[in-house]
Amino acid sequence: MELLGNYTLHNIPVGAVNIDSQWQVHAVLSLAAPRSPLNCPQQSFFNDFTPSPKITNLTLLVDQLHAQNVRVIFWATSMINVDCPM
């Protein structure tokens, strides 16, 4: 919200805000995680759509942005391992 306020202060129009994958609890998967024979992580949490506790009120954040006519984009990876049965 601070960044958006600074843009507004300097008359820089903002139509959308991209919130990176860290909005999810399990967006980061360690490359050192144990792997199955299909090279799948033993525990895969990528894109489970569980909001991170770092964002205390996700609904309020989106409502505040929408009130300023700013669209919200939640980034999530679009890649999957098709060989992994998870």
pLDDT of 36 reads: 53
Beta bridge partners of 74: 19
pLDDT exceeding 90 applies to what percent of the chain? 33
Q: Where are the domains of the chain?
A: 15-74
**CB of 52 closer than 8 Å to CB of 58:** no
Predicted confidence at residue 48, as pLDDT, reads 67
Q: Is 79 helix (H, G, I), strand (E, B) or coil?
A: coil
pTM of the model: 0.64
Cβ–Cβ under 8 Å, residues 21 and 49: no
C-alpha to C-alpha distances, 63 to 33, 58, 70, 71, nearest whole angstrom: 37, 9, 10, 10
Q: Identify the three-state secondary structure at position 55.
A: coil
